[in-house]
A = this chain, B = another copy of it.
Amino acid sequence: MIGNDIFKALADPTRRAIFEKLAAGQMNASALRSGMEISQPAMSQHLAVLRGAGLVREERQGRYVNYEVDPAGLAQIAQWLSKYRAYWPQQIEALKDLLREMDT
């Protein structure tokens, strides 16, 4: 079964924005904050939630903590999605793109 935390973590728009930023490349917490009107503790708390859900992992580097996307989280979502493949209409283009990318 899918972890209860993963959808809860993604339910918050701020957290999705953070995740999206991390998808562009690993980044420390301060870099993530720049351009994102969010306090330092709030960012720290959001990162803790994302980490708890398995969407993100951290690596301490000196006094910085680098965060990066954890594929395990995405895999959990894919696995959940796969349970409902009977309902995927073939004509939806996004799904075809998905397929093509994974095939190569």
Contacts and interface: CB of A to CB of B under 8 A. Distances in A.
A26 to B, nearest CB: 11
> In terms of DSSP, what is the predominant structure of the interface of chain A?
helix
Given A92-B75, A94-B79, A98-B78, A84 B23 contact: yes
A77 interface: yes
Interface stretch (A2-10, A27-35, A37-45, A58-66): A2-10
Contact of A83 (B20, B81, B86, B92): B20
A84 to B, nearest CB: 5
A75 B99 CA distance: 13
A11 B53 CA distance: 12
A94 B78 contact: yes
